[in-house]
Amino acid sequence: MKEIKVGKKHIVERISESKDSAINYASGGVDVYSTPAMVGLMECAAKECLDEFLEEGYSTVGISLNIKHLAATPIGMKVRAEAEIVAVEGKKIVFKVEAFDEVEKIGEGTHERFIVDMNKFLNKVNSKLKKEE
């Protein structure tokens, strides 16, 4: 695995769609870009920031998120999330995350991801199904 560097940044952009609305997520009663959609975009930026460092068979999973949704965004407006690596603690990577629409900052916070061996991870997850039998 390549050395993961503090300061590395990654940006993802999307056009907000009706599937991203607070009404669609049932997280609110207003037809605006939802907090869950913003969180997903922030996680996507962080995940993609790490992808180039990982060997085949490895990925990352989100383990912590502490964000504020600062402003509403109308459906149809472009949104972007920016993730910056601020700490590397072994297999745990800490990010500063921010989200913007075309007018202003709409969210900010921190996000942690953990590097996992996909085979081991999926075996552990799937073992839960065997416990139900």
* Domain membership flag for residue 1: no
Q: Which pLDDT tens digit goes with each residue over 47-56? A: 999 999 999 9
* Domain membership flag for residue 71: yes
* Domain membership flag for residue 17: yes
Lowest-pLDDT choice from 1-5, 25-29, 55-59: 1-5
Q: Which pLDDT tens digit goes with each residue over 92-117? A: 999 999 999 999 999 999 999 999 99
* Domain membership flag for residue 104: yes
Name the one residue in this structure whose structure tokens are 């913003």. Answer: 38
Q: What is the pLDDT of residue 2?
A: 85
Is 69 one of the catalytic residues? yes
pLDDT above 70 as % of the chain: 98
Q: What is the pLDDT of residue 132?
A: 61
SS3 annotation, 100-133: EECCCEEEEEEEEEEEEEHHHHHHHHHHHHHHHC
* Domain membership flag for residue 29: yes
State how far the Cα of 22 lies from the Cα of 32, in Å rounded to an integer: 6
Say which of 43, 82, 98, 112 is annotated catalytic: 43
| Full domain range(s) for residue 72 | 9-126
State how far the Cα of 95 lies from the Cα of 8, in Å rounded to an integer: 10
Structural element, H or E, at residue 92: strand 92-101
Residue range 4-23: mean pLDDT, rounded:
97
- CATH of residue 110: 3.10.129.10
Say which of 3, 17, 60, 69 is annotated catalytic: 69
Q: Is the pTM of this model over 0.95?
A: no
Q: Which residues are annotated as a binding site for substrate?
A: 62, 113
Is 43 one of the catalytic residues? yes
Domain count, the chain: 1
Token pair for residue 70?
Answer: 């600062």
Say which of 3, 10, 13, 35 is annotated catalytic: 35
Is 35 one of the catalytic residues? yes
Token pair for residue 89?
Answer: 């603690």
Q: Which residues are annotated as a binding site for CoA?
A: 62
Nearest to 49 by CA among 79, 14, 9, 99: 9
CA distances from 69 to 86, 113, 117 (A): 21, 20, 32
